[in-house]
Amino acid sequence: MAVERVTILDSKRIILGVTGSIASYKSADLASKLVQAGATVDVILTEAAQQFITPLTFQAVTGQPVYTSMWHTDTSGGLPTHIAHVGLAEGADLFVIAPATAHHIAKLANGFADDLICLTALSCRCTIIVAPAMDGSMYEHPATVENLKKLQERGVIVIEPEEGRFASGLIGRGRLPETPTLMGQIRHALGREWGGLIDRHVVVTAGGTREAIDPVRYVTNHSSGKQGYAVAQAALDAGANVTLISTPTGLPTPVNASLILVESAEEMQQAVLDLLPTADALIMAAAVADFRPAEVAAQKIKKTEDELVLRMTRTEDILLTVGQQRKQTGRPSVLVGFAAETQDLIKNAKSKLKRKNADYIIANDVTAPGAGFQSETNVVTILGSDGSSISLPQQTKAAVAEAIIQRVAARLQTVPHHTTIPDEVDE
């Protein structure tokens, strides 16, 4: 499946260094996905990597010349090799070494300069990401641990390998993560340099809440969580620390978001209130139930009667509660809600904006074609407390999310940074 263009990757120049590992083949997929997302990818292959995969593969997926040796004198298409490392390094926004073998990690940690990857790492001033891949025993060896620590202390981002089965048949930690994880790490690294929400804590709610009837049944709605997850990803791309409070959706958690799983409106409210002291922005994309069964049966309800009458009672309105509270606390600095409507879209949304003391309400007619629950796209109007109203054409939920995050970042520009970060509060 083709990847959408990704704003944070669009027009970025990424060097991909591939060292020799059984995981080298995975880098071809990573290169391909980066190119599809809009990046230009310059690949450097070590001699050992070429035992596993050929330069032609990378040339085909990147459309760029592939660099294989610092001794190579053929300059056709690529940069003259005597300056290739400098030329590549100068124009790069990010240098990703994936997979990185124990041998190369040792060379990088000690400043070796005997191949094009090491030379380029010494020359470049952009962020470097290293994704180790090796047998578990090699990854745990004190020499590797020390070398990785050295690199991290120098600002290199190390992607933790995954646990699993190796080519050797052994089980342990040392497997190169799959492409979506690597892409997520790359996006976040770029976001942390260029984004408008660096060092901000953004809390996003997503999914439809589940209100229990008995131990096996619940009442819910059609929310898929897709729009909320897209908002969380857009906030990560903007460099934010993101907490995603979500009901079970089956969607992959955006890489580097902290996920808090909840079920009911009450649990969601508790999670939101707990995080408010550190939240710069709260985006309530969840479809929170307005009513829940008044009594939850302790045991599974048996079909002894022909009818079952459920008495429902109101849940608390989380957005309203937060909107009222922040009049006193000032937290969160930016508050965004959604208005899922089936009629009188703008009128109802405007009234929610005011009543809930939000900065923005994202109004969507959930019955419109290409909009609402389950859909991959959305059609929204963004209403601001400053009286602004912008109707966006039908677009992907990712694009809608970016439009929301741009506004959140713009509002936060005038707000000073808080001193607490989320992890400090948990302790």
The residues of the shown chain that bind ligand CTP, judged by CB under 6 A, are: 265, 284, 286, 288, 290, 315, 317-319, 337-340, 352
CA distance 105 to 344: 60
Question: Closest distance between ligand CTP and the C-beta of residue 13, in Å?
Answer: 39
Question: CA-CA distance, 31 to 42, in Å (whole number)?
Answer: 9
Closest contact distance (angstroms) between CB of 239 and ligand CTP is: 24
Q: Is 221 a catalytic residue?
A: yes
- Closer residue to ligand CTP (CB): 62 or 205: 205
How many angstroms separate the CA atoms of 182 and 205, rounded? 24
- Which residue, 41 or 231, is less far from ligand CTP as judged by CB? 231
Least separation, in Å, of the C-beta of 337 and ligand CTP? 3
Among 110, 147, 221, 348, which one carries the catalytic annotation? Answer: 221
Convert 175-211 to b/e letters by CB count within 10 Å (16 or more is b): bbbebebbbbbbbbbbbbeebbbeebbbbbbbbbbbb
- For ligand CTP, the closer of residues 352 and 397 by Cβ is 352
Nearest one of 166, 67, 165, 169 to 119, comparing CA atoms: 67
Query: Minimum distance between the CB of residue 205 and ligand CTP, rounded to whole angstroms?
Result: 6
Percent of the chain as helix, strand, coil, to the nearest 5: 35, 25, 40
Strands 127-132 and 171-175: unpaired
| Least Å from the CB of residue 256 to ligand CTP | 24
Give 166 or 338: the residue with its C-beta nearer to ligand CTP: 338
State in angstroms the smallest separation of the CB of 322 from ligand CTP. 8
Instruction: Classify strands 157-158 and 127-132 as parallel, antiparallel or unpaired.
Output: parallel
**Residue placing its CB nearer to ligand CTP in the complex, 184 or 337:** 337
> For ligand CTP, which is the closer residue by CB, 62 or 378?
378
Sort strands 281-284 and 334-341 into parallel, antiparallel or unpaired: parallel
Between 318-329 and 265-275, two packed helices, what is the crossing angle to 10 degrees?
Answer: 20
CA neighbor of 199 nearest in space, from 239, 159, 255, 170: 239
DSSP 328-351: HH--SSEEEEEEEESSSHHHHHHH
Active site residues: 221
